[in-house]
Structure 1
């Protein structure tokens, strides 16, 4: 089964080395399964590592980057397809369109924004693609606790929480992406 996994992850150069290694493991594992990668199109930090490792393993890579971030995130000219768009909204739409599954690695507010948008679309029935969070070290612990609190207060349904797969294991995360 060939599929494209859209990966959301950190792009800042200040992330710990362990997260760069995680991104590299994910990229290599995507390639090992014979899958393709769609990602934010940058070659810095985790974004660069996931794409580099995927390509080294033979995966096809599609990067999507806004023109305004081409220099800041160092657009990855090695991508099989590098799509340069005007806005973040266009970026997210193309990343969603290219993905058969969505995988969030540790990241910051941009990663959370992308995760929440694609997850909300799933909950609303706009797509039925898997949405997975790879939380290897409790990176998302506070966010997940807050989401549970929102459910207790009646703002988030059990269905919504159950539609998000959260795991700390790379293999389990990719298995969940396969559906």
Structure 2
């Protein structure tokens, strides 16, 4: 190897060593409504799940629940992307037979009852692109008021498979078998 080639190679290696990556990926700030998931059974050690829901967790942040999820208007059931629920086997959800599969789930809140909508539309943002023709089921669920307020919208399954949703003082439960 010629002396000039060796010097060029060493110089190039030295420059590369000292150069920072100017094309580094810029990551966005953390989402203010992070994604979460709930499953049944809710034991992380159990891989044979019956159902799992992935949803955004909006916060009240001093705002009124009536403004964030108004009664009588379809709501995406969380924040950002529409909530997606997967049933890994055929189930009875809120008294209706649902085939195994993945669905988006939205809701129409009411003072004493919520209507949950399962749709075959997937990968949609909120409920903005909702198409009623793709409804799989509409489920009525009783809404109650709790004494304690939840700052973040939350979903959990109990050991019997009932899905519980809560935000502020509103609680909605949907049995699953």
**TM class by smaller structure:** under 0.3
Q: TM-score, structure 1 length as denominator?
A: 0.22
Larger fraction in helix: 1
Larger fraction in strand: 2
Higher relative contact order (Cα pairs below 8 Å, separated by 6+ residues) = 1
Q: TM-score, structure 2 length as denominator?
A: 0.23
